Structure 1
Amino acid sequence: MKEDMIQIHSQDGVLEGRLAWPACTEQEVPCVILLHPWGAWDMDGSHPADMSVDDQPVRMFLQLRDAIADKGMSVLRYNSRFVPASNDSAVDYQRRTFSGLVEDACAAVDLVRNTDGVQAEAIWLLGISLGTEVAIAASEKAPILKGLVLMSTIGENYLYRRYYMDVERKLQWLWEQQLVEKDGTVKVEALRELDLPRWGWWDHLEEELQTLESASYEQIASILKLHYDKNLARDLQLGNEEAPSQFWQEWISNEPAYKRITQFTGPICIIQASDDNATPIREAYLLKNALKDRSNVSFTVFDQLGHIFSPRRGDARRTYGPIASEVLSFLTHYLEENN
């Protein structure tokens, strides 16, 4: 496999990346551009071994590159703007904006569209998690796209998705774990004894619940709601360690992805995992239902896989890669059939 070093130029910086080519490039080939999940992902999609299913470092984008290039397509991957440049020791915190991520994706499309060997009318955006919302937003500005592949999909506006995860989903989980008595009392002592980090999204108990033996369901609902309000207000005003306030202000102002996606008329492949803790399956169904009258939309759910399409460990802890082989096979077959 041959790879070219590339640079993606946006209005406020330069991103380093690689453009991979299939073994045979005697004619122009389609190109798939990989868009990152949330966070400081490098161009390889690296994740530490302690969060993987096989105790090996995850290289998510290298997995996708190899599988896609093997089917005769080129693949562009690049460092997220959340990652510092090679000649710098620290990331520019203020560059962390949603609109900046969209701008990077559009710049990547322009780059490959003008690259010799790329079939300009066969450019795909493949996003994972946050990358799906970026892909949908970028498709509004890059109408020449062939199609979208959306994995671990975001469908709802961030404000409502965060409320669901921070409040509604936790309350739902209490019922699933049979911690709510018939009279509405919650067995907090039993809740504290559970290994919460294995669930991925409720990794600690709010301080008000640390000393209670039991509490009413309504009391816990109010505690969760107060923490949600407090944390959201902090992020919107001050930001947090992950992104400045402008990121969160911009993100909650976005029109929901399930409404925006209806403007894109090309092929759309939605791939979801049933055990996803970060972008629940309801997000994918929002997109599916918004596109229900379209014949060029594929919707597939992989059972018992999580956010990065890997199963839980034997102790029931969630994992974040590597991507399961059956998912890679399905994805590459879809791209082959639709190019």
Structure 2
Amino acid sequence: MGSRPHPDRRRLLRAVAAAGGATLAGCSGTTDETTTTSTATDTPSTTTPSDTSPTLTDTPSTATPSDTSPTPVDPNALTDRATAFVQLLADGAFAAAHDRVAESVAGALSEQRLRNGWQQVTESVGSYRQLTTAEYRGETQGVALVVAVGQFADGRQRFVVGFRDGGIVAFRVRPAERAEWTAPAYADESSFTERTLTLDAPGECSLGGTLTLPTADAAGETVPGVVLVHGNGALDRDATVGPNKPFKDLAWGLASRGVAVFRYDKRTHACEVALADATIDDVTTDDAVTAVDRLRSTDRVDEVFVAGHSFGGLLAPRIATRADSVAGVVLLAAGPTRPIADAIVAQQRHLARLDGTVTDAERQQLDRTRAVAERIRSLDIEDDEVVARLGGDEYYRSLREYDHAETAAALDVPVLVAQGGQDWQVTREADFRRWRSALDGEPNVEFTTYPELNHLFQPSTGKATRQEYFVPDTHVAERLIVDVAGFVTDRG
């Protein structure tokens, strides 16, 4: 598979991003704006919402100057107009919304582009709920700006609406502002150090990583180590989602309890990847095997464990069989153990039914998701096509050929399977049950459930949604940290 260093990840999107909808067994999130030049499709997304949603419409920020004097700005009126414009989009009244666009940008901000752009938003963060704020922010280059924040079922989006002479000349979608990460209370920063490592992964791709190493109590003291493996999505080393960093929580929590941790940027985050030609090994397995070798070569680290989250957990047994001398495996919300097509549909159905009703827009999205799922089942994928933003024919074919249960059962090292009861992406009923059925009775396998934790092993109550991933200072639960640390240190 070909990979090369990613170009400037902060450049603006110049077109509508690839469609997003259902989420699947992994959480994406990056610290930069993701760039794409693709146009909208009906392909559902298979990652949880990232903290940096793409720019969906990149219309000119200024219109052609008028020969007449500009209309005096009425902040309250513009705020009302911006609110009404967003509401028209939410209602599906794209023609009416387009009527409010200035003639000078009517082509760039066409009705179809509005439709496609709004679809991207709802497929990324769920159905629209309401605007929470709308505020006039002054003028830039003669364009009066209103910034509104919309609440959706699974996240927030910030809308920037620009006016000149009462007409809309700019409309952009940006991530809502997010809070900074803070250390969990269970992390003892005096008990470990961190340093940056570079992972020379297969191909022309160099992955940045961080080693979190417990301080030594005595000369020559060794510690067990853990490699963290991501789920789906272009995730950084911290598995960042909004203001939260689950992998950093894990690293600091485990290191505070005497376990070294190596976490690294996923290939699809750090480099450009030809997803149409990629297999599951190209995007996950091979890099994880390299990370195991890298951690094992680190001074003071003796036994090395693999801890995979979500899709990384599904592949953790495969990683363990291909790496040398792995001491144990931790499967965190490992899945989906169902056929991937079934999981995509189930997750989209869950999102559509959260509020007790299924709108026409949600029903249409479900239909699109089912159509994509059927293509995955039949491998009806063109040679250069990427489906559900994961991969092409080779990806789904390699996944189908991988028997996770058989591979895990064949391991002769300790295995810990952990599952959150509030997890709607990898569920206790559909996925964890299959792990139990396949591995129950194996003397080296332990199972543990956390009824109150979600897919990220964060505390969760009520209806399980993606929105809770974005609540500031929502950390991986200490209970999981303690259990994983105990599993590793007892066997390391």
Give the corresponding residue for 2:162: none
Q: Distance in 2 between matches of 1:296 and 1:268?
A: 6
Contact 1:309 1:323 in 2 (8 A): yes
What is the CA-CA distance between 1:236 and the residue it aligns to? 3.2
Question: How far does residue 16 in structure 1 lie from its aligned partner after superposition?
Answer: 1.2
Give the TM-score, by structure 1 length. 0.74
The letter of the residue matching 1:284 is F
Partner of 1:242: 389
Q: In the alignment, is the contact (CA less than 8 A) between 2:345 and 2:373 conserved in 1?
A: yes
Shift of 1:168: 9.9
Question: Within 2, Cα distance between the matches of 1:59 and 1:104?
Answer: 21
Worse-superposed segment, 137-146 or 284-293: 284-293
Farther-moved stretch of structure 1 (328-337 vs 129-138): 328-337
Q: Are 1:21 and 2:213 matched, yes or no?
A: yes
CA shift in 2, pair 1:60/1:111, >3 Å: same
Partner of 2:456: 308
Unaligned runs of 5+ residues in structure 1 are: 49-56, 86-90, 180-189, 194-202, 210-222
Task: Report the counterpart of residue 5 of structure 1 in structure 2.
Answer: 196
Structure 2: state its 5+ residue gaps.
1-191
- Percent identity, aligned pairs only, is 21
User: Shift in Å at residue 78 of structure 1?
Assistant: 0.4
Given the superposition, is the C-alpha separation of residues 5 and 303 from structure 1 closer, same or farther in structure 2, using an over 3 Å criterion? same
Whether 2:250 is the aligned partner of 1:60: answer no
Q: What's 1:140 paired with?
A: 321
- Quote the residue 1:253 is aligned against: 400
Question: Could you tell me how far apart the structure 1 residues matched to 2:488 and 2:408 are?
Answer: 19
In structure 2, what residue type is equivalent to 1:163? D
> Aligned Cα RMSD in Å?
3.2
Aligned to 1:140, the other structure's residue is in SS state helix
Query: Aligned pair in 2 of structure 1 residues 206, 133: CA closer, same or farther (>3 Å)?
Result: same
Amino acid paired to 1:34: L
Could you list the structure 1 runs, at least 4 aligned residues long, displaced by more than 6 angstroms after superposition.
none
- Taking the TM superposition and a 5 Å limit, the aligned residue runs for 1:1-339 are 1-12=192-203, 13-24=205-216, 26=219, 27-48=221-242, 57-84=243-270, 91-94=272-275, 97-100=279-282, 101-119=284-302, 122-154=303-335, 156=337, 160-166=339-345, 170=349, 190-192=357-359, 204-206=362-364, 226=371, 228-230=373-375, 236-237=381-382, 238-240=385-387, 242-246=389-393, 248-281=395-428, 282-312=430-460, 317-318=465-466, 319-320=468-469, 322-339=475-492
Instruction: Tell me which residue corresponds to 2:126.
Output: none
- Corresponding residue for residue 20 of structure 2: none
Count the aligned residue pairs.
Answer: 287
CA distance in 2, matches of 1:169, 1:259: 29
What TM-score does the superposition give when structure 2 sets the normalisation length?
Answer: 0.52
8 Å Cα contact 2:341-2:374 kept in structure 1: no
Amino acid of the structure 1 residue aligned with 2:404: A
Counterpart for residue 216 of structure 1: none
**Alpha-carbon distance between aligned partners in 1 of 2:448 and 2:323, rounded to the nearest angstrom:** 25
1:30-83 alpha-carbon deviations (Å, 9 max, x no partner) = 1100001111111122111xxxxxxxx111111011111111121101000011
Cα distance in 2 between the residues matched to 1:132 and 1:142: 15
Deviation at 1:204, TM superposition (A): 2.6
Q: Tell me which protein shows more helix as a share of its residues.
A: 1
Which of 1 and 2 has greater Rg?
Answer: 2
| C-alpha spacing 1:62/1:235, structure 2 compared with 1 (3 Å) | farther
Q: Which moved more, 1:261-270 or 1:282-291?
A: 282-291
